Amino acid sequence: MSKLSSSQRTISGVKDYYFGGAGSQETLRKNIRAFEKITMVPRVLNHLEAPDLSVEVFGKRAPLPIFIAPMAYLSLLELEGEAIFARRAAKSGVSFVLSTRSALPLEEVASIFHANLPTTQASAPRPLLLLQVYVMKDRAITYSLMNRAVENGFDGFVLTVDSPVIGLRRGDRSNHFEVPLKWQNANFIQELSTSAKVFTPSDFGRGVSGTNYEALVQDPTFSWDDLGEFSSMAGGLPFAMKGVLDPRDVARALTHCDDVILSNHGGRQLDGSITAIQALYRISKGGTKFQGNLIVDGGVDSGADVLRSLGLGGASVMVGRYFARGIFGGGDAGLNQRERNRFPYGRGQATYSHNTLKCSNEPF
């Protein structure tokens, strides 16, 4: 049997990192299959000549109920990955969540995003630019990133709370997957260089693997008691908690934050957990009304899945791997092809407004 070349191993490692899941990948598979169990009951004669697809999220009105989900190191998929997403999101009306672990500094991404926003009336909704954050062991690093985001015109924050330890990602282990050193610290080199508690830049010269790197930096002691401090550091901007699935946690989260993102981290954390759309269905069936928006993240693979989420009471969706597959090997042109052929939910293409669709059945 011939051995894999270095380039083949690299491609395999990148594919497993982005498109694989934890454990036996049961949750990864269920993320998509769960949507198939939900049937839609369309309503008719609702005067849909000019449907309004805008939504109120993060305290502002966005043109479309779609976010590009935060994904680390997009430049592994395409050298200009973060730049492509920032540019295309701004032009298309899709909101963009930049990962803390971006291969481009947040200042550069913000500049690209804002430069490509369409010229509209001041009152017209525009796509949002958000920063996803982890709370790190040296919390000053996280708060420094947040301050930089405020200074560069970000609209809010996505606090990821479901990965105090990293899930069992067997593909990453077997591939000995490592993020290139030039990208590992691109977004917070200035903070790390002054940190006495976590790392100095020289630590990154040791070839820290992607998985170990995440585990070392995140603070596993961050808890509910710390959310007040986090909120005070947000500079007055709204934030959502991402990775919440239990209705009790949803209720508690919304006493601290503006919105909640139902997510199982793309099936990359606890294998066997429920899916985001299952969580939304249970909340909808339970009849609980929350003072805040619920956003579905995980398994959204078509415009129909967006409608299913809205029909069950979700305010919006986040889409990650779907768009990632577009730029992987295809760059900007690949993303354009996926948008045209597989995701028909843009301006002028929708046939339902938010109040004309309800989802039923007893799928779970």
| Higher pLDDT, residue 58 or 211 | 58
Binned at pLDDT 50, 70 and 90, residue 363 comes out as low
Residue with tokens 């929708």: 350
Give the mean model confidence (pLDDT) for residues 148-164. 93
The domains of the chain, with CATH numbers, are 6-360 (3.20.20.70)
φ, ψ at 121 (rounded to 5°) = -65, 150
Is residue 161 over pLDDT 80? yes
Residues marked active site are found at: 265
Burial 264-289 (b: 16+ CB within 10 A, else e): bbbbbbbbebbbbbbbbbbbbeeeee
Our measurement of the distance from residue 340's CA atom to the centroid of its chain's CA atoms, rounded to an integer in Å, reads 22
Confirm or deny that 263 is annotated as ligand binding. Answer: yes
Q: Best-predicted range by mean pLDDT among 118-122, 216-220, 360-364?
A: 118-122
pLDDT tens track for 83-142: 999 999 999 999 999 999 888 899 999 999 999 998 877 778 999 999 999 988 878 888
Report field, pTM of the whole predicted structure over 0.75: yes
**How far apart are the C-alpha atoms of 69 and 81, rounded to whole Å?**
13
Neighbours of 61 (CB within 10 A): 15
Confirm or deny that 72 is annotated as ligand binding. Answer: yes
Residue with tokens 């008691």: 225
Confirm or deny that 321 is annotated as ligand binding. Answer: yes
Confirm or deny that 88 is annotated as ligand binding. Answer: no
**How far apart are the C-alpha atoms of 205 and 182, rounded to whole Å?**
10
Asked if residues 104 and 183 have their Cβ atoms less than 8 Å apart, the reply is no
pLDDT at 91: 93
Give the mean model confidence (pLDDT) for residues 47-51. 79
pLDDT at 27: 84
Asked if residues 355 and 48 have their Cβ atoms less than 8 Å apart, the reply is no
DSSP 274: P
Neighbours of 57 (CB within 10 A): 24
Confirm or deny that 160 is annotated as ligand binding. Answer: yes
**How far apart are the C-alpha atoms of 152 and 109, rounded to whole Å?**
10
Instruction: Tokens for 352, please give them.
Output: 């339902």
Is residue 41 over pLDDT 90? no
Strand pairing class (55-57; 60-62):
antiparallel
pLDDT at 184: 62
Q: Residue 60 belongs to what H/E stretch?
A: strand 60-62
Confirm or deny that 354 is annotated as ligand binding. Answer: no
Confirm or deny that 132 is annotated as ligand binding. Answer: yes
Dihedral, CA atoms, 273, 66, 302, 288, nearest 10 degrees?
A: 50
pLDDT at 170: 65
Neighbours of 181 (CB within 10 A): 13
